[in-house]
């Protein structure tokens, strides 16, 4: 329940909320102190989580939307008997689908894993070891024709997602509407398609590099033997 925060810190925050409740409590209104103090204490703890515990700096509005979306997903799951769509969560919290999706994805920024975290069943590989670096060879892949050929290797729905987002410059919400899918589904298809495209392009670059190297070797051999290329 403490979300990884020390219990002593939460007690101190709760105490601050209790003191605030004592200072603002007015007995002549006929309200029980516990009824008045509870939301004040809970609110103080919630503000502590929102403002102090995120490992990555996130705008306050998105923090609030993230908390609201978590509550809405829990509530809607109970009512609907299934996981709610982004559109349903957005309607519940009064935000756009784009804002809701961004807020939901920002949940990973609350406590991101360490780059030294173990990956798999062995201690030999850390998360940092799996992060790629910029490949200078990929700068050569600028041709529209090459991109089209890479797109042809994707499944039809993945291809439509990429075309909608990058060729037609549509938002994820518009692409979701066009393909009659949820926006969360579009986000997953987008990530999968990009991964496949990067793999295909990297293989093409490596193949071109090997072909060029073989050509240079043949040319050098021809020159050294006095023949013609």
pLDDT per residue over 116-135, tens digit each?
666 666 566 676 666 766 66
Instruction: Please identify every stretch of the chain with a pLDDT value under 70, giving residue numbers as ranges.
Output: 1-5, 49-59, 107-125, 127-130, 132-145, 209, 211-229
8 Å CB contact between 64 and 80:
no
Looking at the fold, whether 222 and 182 belong to one and the same domain comes out as yes
- Percent of the chain that is helix, strand, coil (3-state, to 5): 70, 0, 30
Return the pLDDT at 32: 86
Find the CATH number of the domain harbouring 108: 1.10.10.10
Return the pLDDT at 122: 59
- pTM of the predicted protein model: 0.34
Label residue 101 exposed, middle or buried (CB < 10 Å: 0-12, 13-18, 19+). Answer: buried
Say how many domains are in the chain: 3
CA distance 8 to 96: 38
SS3 141: coil
Looking at the fold, whether 168 and 220 belong to one and the same domain comes out as yes
Return the pLDDT at 161: 92
Q: Is residue 125 part of a domain?
A: no
Alpha helices per DSSP H over 113-182: 144-151, 156-162, 172-179
The domain containing residue 195 runs over which residues?
A: 156-229
8 Å CB contact between 102 and 62:
yes
Looking at the fold, whether 81 and 38 belong to one and the same domain comes out as no
Return the pLDDT at 115: 66
Return the pLDDT at 127: 65
Looking at the fold, whether 49 and 104 belong to one and the same domain comes out as no
Q: Is residue 46 part of a domain?
A: yes
Looking at the fold, whether 49 and 7 belong to one and the same domain comes out as yes
CA 209 to chain centre: 34
Return the pLDDT at 228: 47
8 Å CB contact between 31 and 59:
no
CA 181 to chain centre: 19
Q: How far is CA 185 from CA 82, 164, 171, 173, in A?
A: 15, 14, 14, 11
Task: Tell me the two tokens of residue 148.
Answer: 């089209």
CA distance 35 to 16: 17
Looking at the fold, whether 175 and 209 belong to one and the same domain comes out as yes
Residues present in the chain in total: 229
Q: Is residue 120 part of a domain?
A: no
Express each pLDDT in 209-228 by its tens digit: 676 656 555 555 454 455 54
Q: Is residue 214 part of a domain?
A: yes
């Amino acid at each position: 329940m403490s979300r990884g925060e020390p219990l002593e810190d939460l007690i101190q925050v709760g105490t601050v909320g209790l003191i605030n409740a004592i200072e603002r409590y007015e007995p002549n209104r006929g309200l029980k102190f516990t009824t008045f103090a509870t939301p004040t204490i809970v609110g103080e703890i919630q503000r502590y989580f929102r403002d102090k515990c995120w490992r990555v700096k996130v705008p306050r509005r998105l923090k609030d939307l993230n908390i609201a979306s978590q509550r809405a997903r829990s509530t809607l799951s109970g009512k609907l008997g299934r996981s709610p769509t982004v559109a349903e969560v957005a309607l519940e919290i009064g935000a756009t689908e784009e804002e809701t999706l961004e807020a939901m994805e920002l949940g990973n920024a609350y406590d991101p894993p360490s780059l030294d975290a173990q990956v798999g069943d062995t201690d030999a590989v850390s998360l940092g070891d799996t992060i790629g670096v910029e490949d200078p060879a990929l700068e050569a892949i600028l041709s529209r024709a090459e991109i089209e050929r890479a797109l042809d290797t994707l499944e039809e729905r993945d291809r439509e997602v990429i075309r909608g987002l990058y060729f037609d410059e549509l938002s994820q919400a518009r692409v979701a509407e066009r393909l009659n899918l949820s926006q969360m589904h579009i986000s997953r298809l987008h990530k999968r398609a990009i991964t496949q495209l990067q793999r295909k392009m990297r293989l093409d670059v490596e193949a071109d590099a090997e072909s060029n190297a073989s050509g240079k070797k043949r040319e050098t051999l021809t020159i050294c033997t006095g023949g013609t290329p």
